[in-house]
Amino acid sequence: MDNADSYRYNLAASISSHNNNNTKHRLVNFVASFQYNNCLKGMQYKSLEVCLVDLEKHGHLVRVKEEVDPYLEMAAIHLRVHEAGGPALLFENVKGSRFRAASNIFGTVERSRFIFRKTFNQVQQLIRLKSDPLQAIKHPVDNFATGLAAMKALPLKNPLSKPVLYQQVQVSDLPLIHHWPMDGGAFVTLPQVYTEDVDAPGIMKANLGMYRIQLTGNDYELNKEIGLHYQLHRGIGVHQTKANKKGQPLKISCFVGGPPSHTLAAVMPLPEGISEMTFAGVLGGRRFRYTYEDGFAISTDADFVITGEVYPNANKPEGPFGDHLGYYSMRHDFPLMKVHKIYAKKNAIWPFTVVGRPPQEDTSFGNLIHEMTGDAIPQEIPGLKEVHAVDAAGVHPLLLAIGSERYTPYTPTKQPAEILTIANHVLGTGQLSLAKFLFITADDSNQLTTHNVQQYFEYLLERIDWKRDIHFYTNTTIDTLDYSGTGLNSGSKVVFAAYGDKKRGLCREVPQALKELQGFENASLAMPGVVALQAKAFTTYDAAKQEMEMLNAQCSMFNGQQSLMDSGVTMIVVCDDASFVSANLNNYLWVTYTRCNPSHDIYGIDSFTEHKHWGCNGPLIIDARIKPHHAPPVEKDATVEKKIDRLFAKGSSLEGIA
């Protein structure tokens, strides 16, 4: 039975499960076939299942027919398939649940483009028109189709069909997927969390975000309580603050599944006040359909909807959870959601993903969004040409930017000016403000790109002046998931702003003197100009200060009159395992920028403080060792890895995939 036949069979069965009349059966099958083909025309997916059927038809999906355990097994299978660049997965036999589950749907950018192949260009054009609305007037014929596509943006209230209201279920009925060994319980990892503004209710002022939901574990009362985790700079926080001031609970609707455009809309970085549901309609080529039950918004095309309320000052411990920085986010108090009702459509499918050290499936989300939005962010910040949140470093810890230098064209000396203004603007813009390290430069030749990370670093390190170009922001907010700081949401930031002519070449080998240091060993080249040094485990900041003073004393005497900077060493990364850091670029990026709190862990050879400005004459030093307060990294369970080998063996569902 091929994919279309399977879909037609399921649809026919739901229409007439007890009908044995051949004529009527052929008629029902014809109707189902027509609906299936009509649904796929223009890729206006009406449901997650139709999308999965289409993926399977084109070789992008494999069904896992064997029974799989939601405790660690399903996540391990997903990770192995994703690492191999494999297909989407449909788990048809989930232990302990009557519902199927799907993962790796957006596992590659190519598959994501395939899913949205009929609407992708129209969405890009709409974003361009927002940036330059005069194009619609100048080229009305060229933009006519885009205008028609925009009509899909208006959500549709109370549609005739409301499949998600087919049945009510409980938390215990769901596929309770436990992802990593130290996780506090089962989580929803592709939720679409919907809230409304109590001062301006209605869908057009609503917020749809992907905030993880903890279903079981900790002190939650099964089937009655679940945890809601959200970070800084999220629209839901504004809604909860307003509800708290009025002393009333915030109504929450968590949509799971539905057309894939709904999932992507939940992670789309839209400006505050713009409804994600309108974006979902345009991207999916189908208006977002919704209704209300007991005062809760219901996405009628979703596979599941969990409704509940968050009361003022009602919190419970949430976590741990293996998160997208590659470490566990630990247990902290977060809002407690009192479950009201849970709805599920007939034959509902539970979508999930697994996050961990990047790249993971969420990397494809980021790449797709970048392709879709193009120059949208630079258009919002004058002088900004390009910006890149580096996925290999966990996204928020490291931001690379290219700006313009137009302030003082009359000055022969090139030095940072406009890019400093741009840097401040970047750090005050939406989720870009979560950046911990911001590197920014300007390129008059327009040849540089932030997306070739090593080339970008080499360009900047050839020009940076550590005496002048370092700018700290201390005692400030950082990403909730970043444990390198002084507390939850607390830490520091640093901007490295370099501009001008090339000052130096970068070393391509480790200078012999760095291989002979006392107290440091295994000097290795992480990338041109950057040397990793291995040190004993971090104990305290007082001890670290003494260790860095010892390093400074040895490096200040480097090779007589020639400095380390003259030899092309611009940065030293002190770490626990220099071989690991220097093994590849991604290792350097992940270790260096996730394990450093700039105000506490940056040092320099021959450093100084002048009028409250800190700088150094020699190479910059970043202490990227694991600190006692850091969260542990996520690691696979060897027993589980061996257990899932059966699914990849000859004759099994995933034979030959990984």
Task: Report d(CA 265, CA 155) in Å as an integer.
Answer: 13
| Alpha helices, DSSP H, located in 132-233 | 134-138, 144-150
Are 136 and 232 contained in the same domain? yes
Are 125 and 64 contained in the same domain? no
Residue 562 lies in a domain: yes
Residue 243 contacts residue 198 (beta carbons within 8 Å): yes
Q: What is the pLDDT of residues 49-99, one digit of tens each?
A: 999 999 999 999 999 999 999 999 999 999 999 999 999 999 999 999 999
What does the pLDDT read at residue 150? 62
Give the CATH number, domain containing residue 334.
2.30.110.10
Are 531 and 589 contained in the same domain? yes
Residue type, 117: R
Residue type, 583: A
CA diameter of the chain: 96
Residue 420, token pair as written in the block: 């400093």
Task: Report d(CA 227, CA 220) in Å as an integer.
Answer: 8
Domain boundary among 112, 136, 153: 112
Are 156 and 56 contained in the same domain? no
Are 341 and 439 contained in the same domain? no
Residue 367 lies in a domain: no
Residue 312: closest CA among 237, 229, 254, 241: 241
Domain interval for residue 44: 3-112
Residue 46, token pair as written in the block: 């009406």
Residue 409, token pair as written in the block: 């064209």
Give the CATH number, domain containing residue 617.
3.40.1670.10
Are 394 and 465 contained in the same domain? yes
Instruction: Kindly report the three-state secondary structure assignment for every residue of 334-376.
Output: EEEEEEEEEEECCCCEEEECCCCCCCCHHHHHHHHHHHHHCCH
Residue 306 contacts residue 342 (beta carbons within 8 Å): yes
Are 333 and 445 contained in the same domain? no
Distances 203 to 273, 274, 296 between C-alpha atoms, Å: 11, 10, 11
Under DSSP, is residue 467 helix (H, G, I), strand (E, B) or coil?
coil
Are 505 and 568 contained in the same domain? yes
Q: What is the pLDDT of residues 253-276, one digit of tens each?
A: 999 999 999 999 998 876 655 678
Are 130 and 234 contained in the same domain? yes
What are the residue ranges in the chain where pLDDT is below 70?
1-43, 127-151, 231-234, 270-274, 374-379, 557-562
Task: Report d(CA 196, CA 342) in Å as an integer.
Answer: 19
Are 545 and 558 contained in the same domain? yes
Residue 85 lies in a domain: yes
Rg, Å, the chain Cα set:
27
Instruction: Kindly report the three-state secondary structure assignment for every residue of 39-83.
Output: HHHHHCCCCHHHHHHHHHHCCCEEEECCCECCECHHHHHHHHHHH
Residue type, 88: A
Are 189 and 101 contained in the same domain? no
Residue 451, token pair as written in the block: 């997306």
DSSP 468-501: TSEEEEEEEE--TT-TTSSBTTEEEEEEEEE-SS
Residue 364 lies in a domain: no
Residue 616 lies in a domain: yes
H helix and E strand count, the chain: 20, 30
Domain boundary among 316, 351, 386: 351
Instruction: Tell me how many domains the chain contains.
Output: 3
Residue 252 lies in a domain: yes
Residue 645 lies in a domain: no
Residue 282 contacts residue 152 (beta carbons within 8 Å): yes
Residue 359 lies in a domain: no
DSSP 367-421: HHHHHHHTTHHHHHSTT--EEEE-GGGTSTTEEEEEE---S-TT-SS---SHHHH
Domain boundary among 335, 351, 367: 351
Are 100 and 128 contained in the same domain? no
Q: Which backbone phi and psi does 255 adopt, to 5 degrees?
A: -90, 135
DSSP 215-241: -SSTT--TTTEEEE---SS-HHHHHHH
Q: Is the overall model pTM greater than 0.85, yes or no?
A: yes
